[in-house]
Amino acid sequence: MPGIFVTGTDTGIGKTLVSTALLHGMKVLGLRAAGMKPVAAGADLIDGAWVNEDVAELTRAATVAAPPDWVNPYLFRDAIAPHIAAERKGVRIEIPRIVEAYEQLAGLADWVVVEGAGGFRVPLDGRRDSADLAVALGLPVLMVVGLRLGCINHALLTAEAIAARGLRLAGWVANRVDPDMAVYEENLASLENRLPAPCLAVIPWLEDGRPERAARLLPPVRLKQWLDSL
What was the pLDDT predicted at 213?
A: 79
Q: Provide CB contacts within 8 A for 176, sequence distance 6+.
A: 147, 184, 202, 203, 204, 205
Domain edges within the chain: 3-229
| Dist CA 131 CA 141 (whole Å) | 11
pLDDT (tens digit, 9 = 90+) per residue, 12-64? 999 999 999 999 999 999 999 999 999 999 999 888 889 999 999 999 999 99
Single out the catalytic residue among 15, 27, 37, 89: 37
**pTM for this one?**
0.95
For 3-229, which CATH superfamily applies?
P-loop containing nucleotide triphosphate hydrolases (3.40.50.300)
For residues 137-160, average pLDDT: 97
37 is catalytic: yes
Q: Report how far residue 169's alpha carbon sits from residue 171's, in angstroms, rounded to the nearest whole number.
A: 6
Kindly state the percentage of the chain with pLDDT values over 70: 99
Q: What confidence score (pLDDT) does residue 1 get?
A: 65
Pick from 162, 223, 167: nearest CA to 18: 223
Cβ 63 vs Cβ 23: under 8 Å? yes
Cβ-contact 168, 130 below 8 angstroms? no
pLDDT at residue 217, rounded to an integer: 86
